[in-house]
Amino acid sequence: MSHSRKRTSLSRKRRRELSRLRNEAEVLLAEQREVLGHAGSVLHEAGRQAKRLNSEVVAPRVNEALDGVRPTVDRNIERARRTADQVRLAAAPLVATALAGTVRSLERMENREAARQVRSFGEQRGLLKPEKKRGGFGRVLGIGVGIAAAAAVGYALYQAFRSDDELWVAPEDAA
């Protein structure tokens, strides 16, 4: 089945109507552009006026209201700070006890790294006292060597300044 296409051409009357319609649409589009441009100008001016109104009327009223409320807000903030400090003071011993217990439990479970981290956290917050360093063999040996060196220097000084030493010269009495 073959379809034969007839080529239809528009009548002169139809072409004139379409041309007139196109011209009217172009005129309408130009008018719309002009109206939109004018609306943009009006919006711009309205924005400027809103800014002026804000700076001249709204901002001063808001500042007045804030100035009236500010003392109350400041008092409440100070109360909240004092209460927080009191809560910290009351809770610090409880938290310190809990942290110390946690450290002991972790050490008993031989989880040294976790115990070290919990202890470090407590020390940083001032809840736990830093762990005292235990004296190892090296520390004891160092202290012993220091004492021996001090004794040797003391003995050498004693030998150098003995009163029965021949090199020692006593000051002469000028009579």
Digit-coded pLDDT (tens) for 119-154: 888 888 777 877 776 667 777 888 888 898 888 888
140 with 117, same domain: the answer is no
Query: What is the pTM assigned to this prediction?
Result: 0.34
Asked if 42 and 67 sit in the same domain, the reply is yes
Query: 16 CB contacts (<8 Å, ≥6 apart)?
Result: none
The verdict on residue 73 lying in a domain is yes
The encoded tokens of residue 112 equal 């040294």
Q: Does the structure show a pLDDT above 80 at 115?
A: yes
**Under 8 Å between Cβ of 95 and 118:** no
Asked if residue 95 and residue 141 are part of one domain, the reply reads no
Cα gap 101→107, rounded to integer Å? 10
Buried (b) or exposed (e) across 108-139, using 16+ Cβ within 10 A?
A: eeeeeeebeebbeebeeeebbeeeeeeeeeee
Q: How many domains does the chain have?
A: 2
For the segment 147-157, what is each residue's pLDDT rounded down to a tens digit?
988 888 888 87
Computed over every residue of the chain, the mean pLDDT equals 82
User: What tens digit of pLDDT does each residue of 68-88 get?
Assistant: 888 988 899 999 999 988 887
Q: Note whether residue 34 is domain-resident.
A: yes
Q: Within this chain, do residues 36 and 118 fall inside the same structural domain, yes or no?
A: yes
Give percent above pLDDT 70 in the chain. Answer: 85
* 171 falls within a domain: no
Amino acid 20: pLDDT:
95
Residue 22: what pLDDT? Answer: 94
User: Which of 60-64, 77-81, 104-108, 168-172 is least confident?
Assistant: 168-172
Residue 6 lies in a domain: no
Domain of residue 156 covers 133-160
Whether residue 18 has pLDDT greater than 70: yes
